[in-house]
Amino acid sequence: MIGSVAIVGASAAGVAAATTLRDEGYEGEITLIGGETDLPYERPAVSKDILLTGAAPPIIPEQRYAELNIKLLLGTRAERIDARYGQIELSDGRTMVSDRLLLATGGWPRRLPVPGAELGGLHYVRDARDGQAIRSGLRPGARIAVVGGGLIGAEVAASAVQAGCEVDWIEAEGLCLARALSRPLAEAMMDVHRQRGVRVHANALVVRLIGERSVQAVELADGRRIDADMVVVGIGITPAAELAEEADLTVSDGIVIDPFCRTSAENVYAAGDVARHQTRYMATPSRLEHWRNAQEQGVTAARAMLGHRQPYDELPWFWTDQYDLHIEGCGVMRADDETILRGNLADGNATVFHLRAGSLVGACALNRQGDVRGAMRLITRGLTPSADILSDPTKDLRKIEKELSRASA
């Protein structure tokens, strides 16, 4: 019998776990401890809605916490845990005890390791405050340097140029978005960003930020200087695993969990960006930094606490919005996969399918999310349509999946 559950981290994974506990009929205490002061909000909005409109939607409406009898401790950090006794020391000086503990602490933005990184006008992109601070600098004509060619850098660059800013987007490797998206799609998106007015600098390593008190320019390894009123850095996260480390849980680039989100300590679970896990879709254990992974692992952890034996085995899925383009991806895509193109990338309507050893393993789509949803069903069932079908934009993959499932039954 579980009398109390404490969840550290009030975001996608933590809120999903709390609401799932109630959905599953759990009637004991639930305490959701969040270091941020805002009502838990949809973090993906930080580089999109907040920059463009100033607002992020809440994960659930405020009154739902009271209705579900979920105790919210916002603006409160868990400073230390003792896994043996379920003890949590809080930043307000209190110590609480719970029967089950979920660590859903996400990650901290990786810092730019160069001289000048302490100057004013430099922002990271993790929480709503970061988003608001960046938004206040997105004035027409402002010069914005975005460092980091991943999804967050891309979204910030898109939002900034839409706000009328002069945008320089800087990436150390040869192609922005290459690790996040299928390569042909990443290449197409570079053209999109350039057409919209973003100056893209690939193979460009930032070595120094220049300025007196506030940043005025970014210096690159080849000696170039890019003038900037504001620098926004999105170069990845490090897992917020410090509580777990101090409590001697197994940590290796994230808190190591099993398919039921259990950590190495009894009654302690982890979920979301902070958790390192493996499913049948992954060659090696890894952390995923996608909203759906966090949410679904929160669900799995909650169910596991209640004794359900449903392992986490979700196919990775993510989305990103840049300008009026909606991109979705699923599966595990590698640069050496065979790829099949459907549609036309230059028209902003295309899907790239990834095959490995003849089997469909992933898909990445530009404004064709139906293809990704169909591909997800195919991949989870181990089905691979012919190249003719995959390359034909008129073929509905959800129907194809049903046909192939029937044929193989």
CB of 279 to ligand FAD, least distance (A): 16
Q: Where are the beta strands (DSSP E) in 69-212?
A: 70-74, 78-82, 87-90, 95-97, 100-103, 107-109, 122-124, 143-147, 166-170, 199-201, 206-211
289 binds ligand FAD (CB under 6 A): yes
Site for ligand FAD in 292-311 (CB under 6 A): 292, 294
Q: Is 9 in the site for ligand FAD (CB under 6 A)?
A: yes
Q: What share of the chain is helix, strand, coil (3-state, %, to 5)?
A: 30, 30, 40
- For the bound state, the minimum distance from the C-beta of residue 360 to ligand FAD, rounded and expressed in Å, comes to 21
Minimum distance from residue 15 beta carbon to ligand FAD (Å): 8
Please identify which residue in 5, 65, 98, 126 interacts with ligand FAD, judged by CB under 6 A: 126
Under rule CB under 6 A, residue 8 binds ligand FAD: yes
362 binds ligand FAD (CB under 6 A): no
In the shown chain, the binding pattern of residues 130 to 169 toward ligand FAD, with x for contact by CB under 6 A and - for none, equals ----------------------x-----------------
- Of 110 and 292, the one with the shorter C-beta distance to ligand FAD is 292
Instruction: Indicate whether 36 belongs to the interface with ligand FAD (CB under 6 A).
Output: yes
**At its nearest, how many Å lie between ligand FAD and the CB of residue 372?**
12
> Burial code of 61-70, b = ≥16 C-beta within 10 A, e = fewer?
eeeebeeeeb
Beta strands in 221-296 (DSSP E): 225-227, 230-233, 237-239, 255-256, 268-270, 275-276
Tokens (6 digits) for 384 = 């691979």
Q: Per-residue DSSP letters for 330-385?
A: EE---TTSEEEEEEEGGGTEEEEEEEETTEEEEEEEES-HHHHHHHHHHHHTT---
Quote the DSSP letter at residue 45: G
Which of 182, 131, 137 has the alpha carbon at shortest distance from 320?
182
Q: Considering the rule CB under 6 A, would residue 374 count as an interface residue with ligand FAD?
A: no
Question: How long, in residues, is the chain?
Answer: 409
DSSP assignment of 174-208: SSTTTTTS-HHHHHHHHHHHHHTT-EEE-S--EEE
Q: How far apart are CA 271 and CA 352, in angstroms?
A: 30
Q: Which of 6, 18, 104, 340 binds ligand FAD (CB under 6 A)?
A: 104
- Residue 57, Cβ density class (10 Å: 0-12 exposed, 13-18 middle, ≥19 buried): exposed
Pairing verdict, β 237-239 and 317-322: unpaired
Residue 98 or residue 320: which is nearer to ligand FAD going by CB? 320
How large is the angle between the packed helices 151-162 and 183-195, nearest 10 degrees? 20
Q: Which of 318, 330, 385, 397 binds ligand FAD (CB under 6 A)?
A: 318
* 323 binds ligand FAD, rule: CB under 6 A: no
CA distance 152 to 146: 10
Out of 2, 319, 341, 389, the residue judged to bind ligand FAD by CB under 6 A: 319
Give me the least distance between CB of 64 and ligand FAD, in Å please: 17
Q: Does 44 bind ligand FAD (CB under 6 A)?
A: yes
What is the maximum alpha-carbon separation in the chain? 70
**Least distance to ligand FAD, CB of residue 321, Å:** 7
Q: Is 290 in the site for ligand FAD (CB under 6 A)?
A: yes
Q: Residue 50 Cβ, how far from ligand FAD at the closest point, in Å?
A: 9
Please identify which residue in 77, 129, 199, 395 interacts with ligand FAD, judged by CB under 6 A: 77
**316 binds ligand FAD, rule: CB under 6 A:** no
What are the phi and psi torsion angles at 349 (to 5°)?
-150, 90
From the list 116-124, 289-297, 322-330, 337-345, the region that binds ligand FAD by CB under 6 A is 289-297
Q: Measured between alpha carbons, how far apart are the two ends of the chain, in Å?
A: 42
Residues 6+ apart with CB under 8 A from 118: none
Q: Record the tokens describing residue 29, joined without a space.
A: 């205490």
Q: Which stretch binds ligand FAD (CB under 6 A): 58-66, 99-107, 348-356, 395-403?
A: 99-107
Q: Site for ligand FAD (CB under 6 A): how many residues?
A: 37
**Residue 105 interacting with ligand FAD (CB under 6 A):** yes
Shortest Cβ distance from residue 382 to ligand FAD (Å)?
Answer: 24
Q: Which residues bind ligand FAD (CB under 6 A)?
A: 8-14, 33-36, 43-44, 46-47, 77-78, 104-107, 125-126, 152, 240, 243, 272-274, 289-292, 294, 318-320
